[in-house]
Amino acid sequence: MEKLFVSVKKELLLLRRDKTGLLLLFFMPAFLVLIITLIQDDLLNTDIRILFLDMDKGRIGEKMEDLLERSGNVILVKEIEGTTLTIDETKREVADGTFQFGLVIPEELTVALEKKCRAEIKAELSPEKTGKKTIDQVIPKIQIFFDPTVQGGYKTAIQNIVAGVSQRIELELKMQLFFQMLPDRLLSSFPQEMASYLPEKEEILSYDRLFEYHESFIEIDETSVTNMGFIKTPSAVQQNIPAWTIFGIFFIVVPLSASLIKERESGTMMKLKSMPVSHVTILLGKILAYICVSFGQYTVILGVGKFILPLFGITPFSIGPQIMTFHLILLSTICSAAGYGIMLGTVLKTHEQATVFGPVSIVIAAAIGGIMVPVYAMPGYVQPFSLLSPLFWAQNAFHDIILRGGDLSSVYPEVLCLFVFTAINLIVARIYILKGS
């Protein structure tokens, strides 16, 4: 027992004196949590600035401006430093990257659209019902300029907003024209003797209030649902703390594997093997030391979530009622990271290999495991690979506990997978050690 204790103490002493390693292990994940949570929280509340050039000067341009501004996510910029925009300036500003989006409502759009709608309605209302629905009227196109650096999600969001607003304008115009043209059609289709019984044309036309702006009658109610019972509204902090804690924990792989390789290279491992102490004690000493380190990492990150982020107006992180289960997941995550570190330290030959392969493999496992981008947002062919990432198992288990209201019964498969992953790594390491002797 004393041999194990002195091994743990030695590892902790070595770590304490490795300032860069400490920075990597403690500061980096805490900083990541802070920055990423702040950015993501801000993203949700940030309006998108769009250069807006209305060359139509008709009702469509006005309506488009009005509806986009009412959409709540968009700020329209119509002039720069007091100068009205031109199409070339709009393009240039976007090309320079000063603005990410430019929206141009072309000349004569209102006139052309009205003509086309009128012709279409007229054809529809005609007693002959010609059936000719395609009217040869060219509609000038609305142009959206994108900065090439704009990512797909934002591009789609802007396209959807503009497309939605355009459809609404077109529908409103069609309806208004329909109500304008309908009375003539009605009056012309009744026999002359019934004319006195019909309402006045002006009465038929008095439906303008229908087309005034109002919120949609159909409301959308957003609720997070789960089979386990809802407890916590998903937020950037609830999602980021577990994700980046897992990421930080897995980074113990770097110093852990490097320490094993260093011991091998310096001859200390050979010396230890010649001493009356089992290899298991030496490795267990390392694992226990890094378990302490990882609990320290978690405490720092938890501190950021509970005390630092609220200073920026963000809701504090909450573990929820399943504290024991939460810590069991944490322990299984730490063990799997330690096991992986031991395996790499045994299998890899040089310090350089460990410092390159270790972090790269973790970043890949984090990427496919949904730490950086949610798994559901990944391409379909990548998603099955997520199931292979221990970081995914850990994150899924944490989410079950803190977002979906799960308990031990809902997370035991993931916890089991993490412990099995640990065991497999240690077995591989053991095989290599025996092979080496």
CB of 280 vs other proteins, minimal distance in Å: 13
Give the position of tokens 């139509």: 56
Q: Which is nearer to other proteins, 14 or 144 (CB)?
A: 14
Residue 285 and residue 263 in contact, taking contact as beta carbons nearer than 8 Å = no
Q: Which is nearer to other proteins, 7 or 325 (CB)?
A: 7
CB of 375 vs other proteins, minimal distance in Å: 41
By C-alpha distance, which of 354, 154, 316, 169 is closest to 238?
316
Q: Which is nearer to other proteins, 75 or 270 (CB)?
A: 270
Q: CB-based contacts of 369: which residues, under 8 Å, 6+ apart? A: 375, 386, 389, 390, 391, 392, 393, 395
Q: Which is nearer to other proteins, 129 or 435 (CB)?
A: 435
Q: Which is nearer to other proteins, 255 or 305 (CB)?
A: 255
What residues make contact with other proteins under the rule CB under 8 A? Answer: 2-3, 6-7, 10, 13-14, 17-18, 266-268, 270-277, 437
With b for 16 or more beta-carbon neighbours within 10 A and e for fewer, the 280-311 pattern comes to eebbbbbbbbbbebbeebbebbbebbeebbee
CB of 386 vs other proteins, minimal distance in Å: 39
Residue 105 and residue 60 in contact, taking contact as beta carbons nearer than 8 Å = yes
CB of 155 vs other proteins, minimal distance in Å: 51
Which letter does DSSP use for residue 166 in this model? H
Q: Which is nearer to other proteins, 18 or 108 (CB)?
A: 18
Residue 170 and residue 139 in contact, taking contact as beta carbons nearer than 8 Å = no
CB of 276 vs other proteins, minimal distance in Å: 4
CB of 16 vs other proteins, minimal distance in Å: 9
HSE at residue 245, side-chain half, CA atoms within 13 A, is: 32
Distance CA 393, CA 407 (A): 15
Q: Which is nearer to other proteins, 84 or 350 (CB)?
A: 350
Distance CA 361, CA 346 (A): 16
CB of 13 vs other proteins, minimal distance in Å: 6
By C-alpha distance, which of 276, 247, 272 is closest to 361?
247
